[in-house]
Structure formats: structure tokens, C-alpha cells
């Protein structure tokens, strides 16, 4: 039954139409981005957060939602450099969000830089492994069958 649902290009056939994984990734990414914007707008317009709205937006995890959205949108394009840089941006958004989320004191510059250090280390490692990561992305994100070979 599952074999009949999956097509040859990695899409799901439903009632004679197909929904590609790229479309699903884009829709999920756009929905997550809209959710992040909604949460940020809610925080920014509340009276109790007027002075420190940006700090509360960072502490609420809006950047984690934005990181997931950027990651999904990046993988939906299936171009290795776009996917790689979306991974880098998502890594930085998640690192900054975690830096603020797990801080003991809620101040503009958090006192505990653990998550910032982890983010910098992961980003530098990802940058050092640029060629192998791009090769891996090409293997994972690009379809291998059904495409004409370059001549």
C-alpha cells in the first residue's frame, strides 16, 4: 500500500495529484515563520513589555521558530549553497535564542556565554567542513534518479 503512494521522484500521490516534499517543506517553513512573527507581534504590542520587548522576544524562543522555518525553507530549495547557509543562519538563530533562554539574569547581555561559545564552535566547525557538508547535502537533497546526465 505504501509502495503505491510513493512516486519515483519522492512525492506522495493523492487522488491523481502529487504533493512534493519541497512543497511540504515550504508550507511548513512559511507556517513556522508566520507563527514566529505572530508571537513577536504579540509580545511587542503588549503594554507590560514596552521597554524590553526585544529581550522578551529573544527569551520567548521566537528565534527558535525562525531557525526551524529558515532550515525548512532552505532544504526546500535543494541548492547546496542555499541549504548550507540556511543551516548556518539557523544555527546562529538557535544559539542566540538558547543563550537568552537559559540565562540566569534577564539582561541585554547575558552573563553566561555557554550557548554563544557552543554556537561559535559549531559554526566554525561547519565552516571548516564546508566542502564535505556541501557534498553531503548534494547526496541528500538532490534527486539521483530520473534526471538526465550532463553531457
Q: What's the pLDDT at 100?
A: 82
Q: What's the pLDDT at 64?
A: 93
pLDDT tier for residue 84 given thresholds of 50, 70 and 90:
very high
| Model pTM score | 0.75
Question: How far are the Cα atoms of 32, 85, 143 from residue 70, in angstroms, in the given order?
Answer: 9, 10, 21
Question: How far are the Cα atoms of 36, 59, 98 from residue 95, in angstroms, in the given order?
Answer: 16, 12, 5
Q: Please indicate whether residue 56 or residue 77 has the higher confidence score (pLDDT).
A: 77
Q: What's the pLDDT at 114?
A: 85
Report yes or no: 99 and 41 within 8 Å, Cβ to Cβ.
no
Alpha carbon distance 8, 3 (integer Å): 10
Grid cell, residue 72, equals 525548512
Given a cut of 50, whether residue 69 has pLDDT beyond it is yes
| Domains of the chain, residue spans | 20-141
Number of other residues whose CB lies within 10 A of the CB of residue 131: 8
Report yes or no: 119 and 81 within 8 Å, Cβ to Cβ.
no
Report yes or no: 139 and 80 within 8 Å, Cβ to Cβ.
no
C-alpha 83 chain-centroid distance: 10
By residue count, the chain amounts to 151
Least confident range from 54-58, 108-112, 145-149: namely 145-149
Amino acid at each position: 500500500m505504501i509502495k503505491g503512494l510513493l512516486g519515483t521522484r519522492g512525492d506522495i500521490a493523492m487522488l491523481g495529484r502529487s504533493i512534493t516534499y519541497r512543497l511540504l517543506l515550504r508550507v511548513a517553513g512559511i507556517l513556522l515563520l508566520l507563527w514566529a512573527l505572530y508571537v513577536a507581534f504579540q509580545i511587542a504590542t503588549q503594554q507590560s513589555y514596552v521597554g524590553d520587548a526585544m529581550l522578551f522576544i529573544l527569551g520567548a524562543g521566537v528565534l527558535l521558530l525562525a531557525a526551524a522555518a529558515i532550515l525548512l525553507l532552505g532544504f526546500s530549495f535543494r541548492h547546496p549553497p542555499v541549504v548550507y547557509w540556511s543551516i548556518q543562519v539557523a544555527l546562529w538563530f538557535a544559539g542566540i535564542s538558547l543563550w537568552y533562554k537559559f540565562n540566569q539574569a534577564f539582561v541585554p547581555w547575558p552573563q553566561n556565554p555557554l550557548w554563544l561559545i557552543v554556537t561559535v564552535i559549531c559554526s566554525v566547525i561547519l565552516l571548516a567542513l564546508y566542502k564535505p557538508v556541501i557534498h553531503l547535502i548534494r547526496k541528500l537533497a538532490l534527486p539521483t534518479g530520473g534526471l538526465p546526465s550532463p553531457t
